[in-house]
């Protein structure tokens, strides 16, 4: 079925639904995940986003769970972080999320959370892959049933964690026609905000389509022409968020993390430093240095940020893309929680007038390649990366890495001026194309 191919990437198993991610593979994943649990009659929660392939994969995954002797609890459409919260709150053994996050609707994915609400480590995922390849054992079949009240449990958890009074605030929410289309407007309204919501009419195919955190133009235009003082854009599964101020200027994850770090530090809540990935802007590091806040750097992926936080005993971390983790609430990125935290840390101020960091101009190009892993042996490319990095030392930086989920090599340059960043990036992109395409 898998032909020896590694299934798990940086965020679960992801690919085109019906071709790579088939019902057969979803069933095998459900069976393997359940068989890997050393408990009798495992209880496994399944939630999904709004893609048209979601119900099919949800059913196949549930069939695999039941075939391996577990009970599958169907939570329906809920944001990814709700799974991490509910698996702990309800005392379940595992949670599975059927979603491809920010990818187009044709893709889908399956990722898992442990009983502690954390993403599975590499060793557990490798064990699951080996179980998929092995012959299926026999077990007394489990059951598949609906789980009611999951959305309300999630909203209640948010309300307890963020006891805010947002009356007087008008907030624009872009829910990407995805998993937050009910939850995000509901919690902001519950806390007293006037909510203007867009991209809240999912049809199975419009998830992330010209909207959400990967297409901020829609939100920026709507906020700038409305009474809203701030806007938030979520991705398809709701584990990331980006913001837009009243003038339509966008603010990425680095800026929101910097705002949260400064606020938590001032309140004595930070409990150490902050963990971010190698993609974080050079200006973020400068701002944290000025604030006396220690920064730990990880590889790309919010799971690695979480590993670093747990190892150091810290609570705050995240990614430039908008995955923001505060382990005091949940041990994964939560876009809705991060949006509420931003409202808390702004304290009534205008996001456009707050400067938690000064971003260096950054150019990022995704280069399509036949084999993203071939970059490891591209000596000429890495020699050029080293030269460009030395030329920018103390002023900026370069970064080149393969995508963990797509056939892409990401090339990034940061420099004091946009022109220099673009020039550096263009040289490296041309070399990558020459060597790998």
Active site residues: 101
Q: Which long-range contacts (CB under 8 A, 24 or more apart) does 34-39 make?
A: 34/64, 34/65, 34/68, 34/69, 34/70, 34/94, 34/142, 35/68, 35/131, 35/137, 35/139, 36/124, 36/127, 36/128, 36/131, 37/70, 37/93, 37/94, 39/93
Cα–Cα dist 373/78, whole Å: 34
CA atoms within 13 A on the CB side of 205: 0
CA–CA separation, 201 and 220 (whole Å): 19
Question: How far apart, in whole angstroms, are the C-alpha atoms of residue 413 and residue 240?
Answer: 23
Rounded Cα distance between 164 and 375, Å, is: 48
Cα gap 42→66, rounded to integer Å: 9
Q: Give CA–CA dist 96/44, Å, rounded.
A: 7
The full DSSP string for 309-333 is HHHHT--EEE-TTS-EEETTTBSS-
Rounded CA Rg of the chain: 21
Angle at 60 between CA 403 and CA 96, to 5 degrees: 55
How many beta carbons lie within 10 A of that of residue 148, not counting itself?
Answer: 12
């009798």: which residue's tokens? 40
Torsion of CA 347, 349, 352, 354, to 10 degrees: -70
Tokens of 329: 């609430």
């Amino acid at each position: 079925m898998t032909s020896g191919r590694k299934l798990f990437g940086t965020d679960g198993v992801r690919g085109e639904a019906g071709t790579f991610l088939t019902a057969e593979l979803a069933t095998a994943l459900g069976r393997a995940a359940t068989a890997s649990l050393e408990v009798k009659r495992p209880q496994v929660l399944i939630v999904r986003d709004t893609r048209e392939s979601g119900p099919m994969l949800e059913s196949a995954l549930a069939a695999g769970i039941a075939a391996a002797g577990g009970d599958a609890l169907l939570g329906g459409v809920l944001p990814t972080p709700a799974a991490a919260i509910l698996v702990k709150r309800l005392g379940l053994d595992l949670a599975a999320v059927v979603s491809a996050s920010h990818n187009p609707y044709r893709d889908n994915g399956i990722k898992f959370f442990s009983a502690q609400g954390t993403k599975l480590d590499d060793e557990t995922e490798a064990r699951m892959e080996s179980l998929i390849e092995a012959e299926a054992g026999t077990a007394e079949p489990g059951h598949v049933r609906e789980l009611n009240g999951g959305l309300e449990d999630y909203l209640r958890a948010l309300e307890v964690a963020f006891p805010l009074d947002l009356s007087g605030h008008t907030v624009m929410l872009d829910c990407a026609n995805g998993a937050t289309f009910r939850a995000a407007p509901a919690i902001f309204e519950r806390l007293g905000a006037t909510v203007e919501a867009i991209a809240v009419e999912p049809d199975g195919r419009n998830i992330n389509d010209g909207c959400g955190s990967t297409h901020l133009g829609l939100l920026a235009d709507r906020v700038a022409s409305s009474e809203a003082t701030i806007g938030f854009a979520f991705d398809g599964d709701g584990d990331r968020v980006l913001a837009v101020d009243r003038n339509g200027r966008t603010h990425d994850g680095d800026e929101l993390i910097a705002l949260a770090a400064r606020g938590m530090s001032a309140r004595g809540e930070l409990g150490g430093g902050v963990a971010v990935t190698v993609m974080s802007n050079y200006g973020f590091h400068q701002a944290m240095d000025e604030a006396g806040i220690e920064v730990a750097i990880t590889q790309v992926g919010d799971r690695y940020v979480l590993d670093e936080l747990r190892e150091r005993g810290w609570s705050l971390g995240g990614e430039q893309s908008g995955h923001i983790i505060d382990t005091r609430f949940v041990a994964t990125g939560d876009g809705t929680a991060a949006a509420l935290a931003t409202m808390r840390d702004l304290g009534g101020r205008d996001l456009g007038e707050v400067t938690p960091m000064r971003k260096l101009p950054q150019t990022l190009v995704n280069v399509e390649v036949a084999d993203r892993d071939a970059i490891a042996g591209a000596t000429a490319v890495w020699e050029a990366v080293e030269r460009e990095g030395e030329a920018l030392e103390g002023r900026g930086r370069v970064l080149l890495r393969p995508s963990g989920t797509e056939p892409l090599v990401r090339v990034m340059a940061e420099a004091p001026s946009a022109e220099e960043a673009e020039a550096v990036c263009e040289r490296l992109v041309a070399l990558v194309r020459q060597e790998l395409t």
